[in-house]
């Protein structure tokens, strides 16, 4: 008995137009049979077919261990109820156009991530790292965005310390790790008001929630750019509140603009920044993956001045601070080559460097074990074993 390919795909309201099967892939040209789109103007069904629109490439669940790619030829429909009869492209519930996959495949990736890493799943299933990360971020947002909305973006009179801490952590996670646009918009609105960028022209940090101020300023500097950076710098010069100064420096360091990021790193060497405040700039700076390569170059060029400013109890952490994102033997060697001759002048430097190098090399070993070479070797072993089994059966 033959099973229709539509049944194997298990997707609603689709028709398979063509199938191509290769050694590792199944490619299906498909189209929807639903027969309507939802008008973007009135929200009603638009049922008059207008034309075929773009073709979406979507990853779907594997079949017989073959990667499945769907090429969905989308359709545009005309609304006969609206003036001007606008057209709207059909969107189906079973796929995520932004993630470039079916929702079933997104759930498959999430299950694969249990007790695994993003890079492992990316390699095993031949999915770009950013796409796996996007699926994970979308899932995290679906869990925490509603909770963030319920907590609100301002401290309430009845809030306990636990509630305040939860609000801080979720806001930081969604705004800076997941980079959710909705959460960032809420925080930037407070940040612009606090920095006088809303038209008032006057900095007043009390206009931002005090518990979220650090995250608010980081996101605002990232999104508002130079005007926010300059306003933060000016406010720092006259501000004497310790916690606010920490938040202001973290805001400066968080910029992803290359020129402003260099300016922030240089600002940390200015005498106006106290030695106990330095870490706020540099930790915030290297938290952003976009800044790490430039931060490493900056450290090598300014090491003596940076080392001179660091308090004794912090210098042992220098190797770790500039090691974020490193996960290869070459990157470990690069870090070691720079710090090894200098660790004796750093209190706790030997231990700090050893622990950092160990972490990088463990990451590198895991990546090598799970990497493309290991996967290709495993596939080759399977294919050789299969061929031998077939030969032995004759």
Q: What's residue 381's pLDDT?
A: 53
Cα gap 367→122, rounded to integer Å: 11
Cα gap 29→12, rounded to integer Å: 15
Q: What's residue 377's pLDDT?
A: 55
Domain ranges of the chain: 8-100
Q: What's residue 334's pLDDT?
A: 97
Q: What's residue 120's pLDDT?
A: 83
Rounded to two decimals, the pTM is: 0.82
Neighbours of 324 (CB within 10 A): 15
**Dihedral (CA of 205, 207, 208, 210) sign:** positive
| 8 A C-beta contact, residue 102 and residue 60 | yes
Segments in the chain below pLDDT 50: 378-379, 382-383, 385-390, 392-394
> Cα–Cα distances in Å, from 8 out to 4, 39, 55, 99, 268?
7, 31, 21, 22, 59
Q: What's residue 374's pLDDT?
A: 53
108-122 per-position pLDDT tens digit: 999 999 988 888 899
Q: Which helix (H) or strand (E) holds 262?
A: helix 258-267
């Amino acid at each position: 008995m033959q099973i229709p390919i539509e049944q194997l795909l298990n997707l609603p309201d689709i028709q398979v137009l063509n199938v191509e099967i290769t050694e590792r892939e199944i490619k299906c040209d498909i189209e929807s049979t639903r027969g309507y789109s939802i008008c973007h103007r009135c929200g009603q069904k638009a049922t008059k077919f207008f034309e075929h629109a773009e073709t979406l490439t979507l990853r779907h669940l594997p079949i017989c261990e073959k990667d499945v790619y769907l090429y969905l030829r989308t359709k545009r429909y005309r609304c006969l109820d609206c003036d001007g009869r606008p057209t709207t492209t059909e969107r189906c519930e079973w796929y995520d156009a932004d993630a470039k996959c079916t929702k079933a495949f997104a759930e498959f990736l999430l299950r694969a991530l249990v007790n695994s890493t993003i890079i492992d799943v990316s390699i095993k299933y031949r999915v770009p790292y950013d796409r796996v990360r996007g699926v994970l971020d979308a899932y995290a947002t679906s869990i925490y965005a509603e909770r963030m909305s319920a907590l609100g973006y301002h401290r309430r009179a009845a809030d306990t310390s636990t509630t305040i801490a939860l609000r801080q952590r979720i806001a930081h996670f969604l705004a800076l790790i997941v980079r959710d646009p909705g959460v960032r918009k809420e925080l930037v609105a407070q940040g612009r008001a606090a920095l006088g960028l809303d038209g008032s022209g006057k900095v007043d940090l009390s206009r931002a929630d005090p518990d979220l101020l650090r995250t608010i300023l980081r996101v605002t500097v990232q999104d508002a750019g130079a005007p926010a950076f300059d306003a933060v710098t000016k406010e720092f010069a006259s501000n004497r509140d310790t916690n606010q100064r920490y938040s202001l420096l973290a805001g400066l360091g968080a910029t992803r603009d290359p020129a402003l990021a260099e300016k922030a790193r240089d600002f940390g060497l200015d005498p106006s920044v106290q030695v106990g405040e330095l870490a706020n700039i540099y930790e915030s700076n290297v938290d952003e993956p976009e800044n790490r390569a430039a931060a490493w170059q900056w450290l090598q060029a300014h090491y003596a001045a940076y080392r001179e400013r660091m308090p004794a109890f912090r210098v042992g952490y220098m190797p770790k601070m500039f090691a974020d994102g490193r996960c290869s033997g070459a990157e470990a060697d690069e870090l070691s080559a720079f710090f090894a001759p200098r660790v004796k002048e750093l209190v706790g430097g030997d231990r700090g460097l050893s622990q950092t190098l160990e972490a990088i090399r463990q990451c590198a070993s895991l990546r090598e074990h799970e990497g493309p070479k290991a996967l290709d070797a495993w596939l080759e072993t399977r294919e050789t074993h299969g061929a031998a089994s077939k030969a032995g059966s004759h």
